[in-house]
Amino acid sequence: MINTKRLNIMPLTYSQLVKYAKCDNSLEKELNLNPNSRTISDELKEALDNTILPNVADKAQNYLFSTLWTAISIADNSMVGDLCIVGQPNQLGEIEIGYGTYDEYQGKGYMTEMVGGIIEWAKTQSLVKSIIASTEKSNLASYKVLEKNNFIQVSETPDLYNWKLGL
């Protein structure tokens, strides 16, 4: 668990991910949180089924580099967003992150704080040398999160900005 000023950031176990995917508030009930109206995008559902759940189930891997980390607002006692590390550090010591804030909590700085918490955690992981991320060019809020956490834009494609933060 990572604790920041306003958030508790918790990595989900395999059984918690299964409950998370159901979107029926069973995970919130298990964690003694207030229910919310979160939904899962088709893209995240596919990632859960095809990548996240199988990787978290693989006992040979450190699940912290594959699971969803959920951000819990201390004040609201509710999940406000999620972040996923996309696999083990590569040969260069890079980990990739993806993240999202639930609709009703957007614009309140939660994801900036969550990414900051993950950065502090990553600094304690000996194999991690940098964090990378990609954002859609049209998603101003998403790349502002990275800018506020001192990521540098390193390249771009027609649709994406690619970012990096050296630790």
Q: What is the pLDDT of residues 43-99, one digit of tens each?
A: 899 999 999 999 999 999 999 999 999 999 999 999 999 999 999 999 999 999 999
What's 2-166's CATH class? alpha beta
Average pLDDT for 29-41:
92
What percent of the chain is modeled with pLDDT above 90?
Answer: 95
Q: Tell me the pTM.
A: 0.95
3-state secondary structure the chain: CEECCCEEEEECCHHHHHHHHHCCCHHHHHCCCCCCCCCCCHHHHHHHHHHHHHHHHCCCCCHHHCCEEEEEECCCCEEEEEEEECCCCCCCCEEEEEEEECHHHCCCCHHHHHHHHHHHHHCCCCCCCEEEEEEECCCHHHHHHHHHCCCEEEEECCCEEEEEEEC
Domain extent listing, the chain: 2-166
pLDDT in tens, 136-145: 999 999 999 9
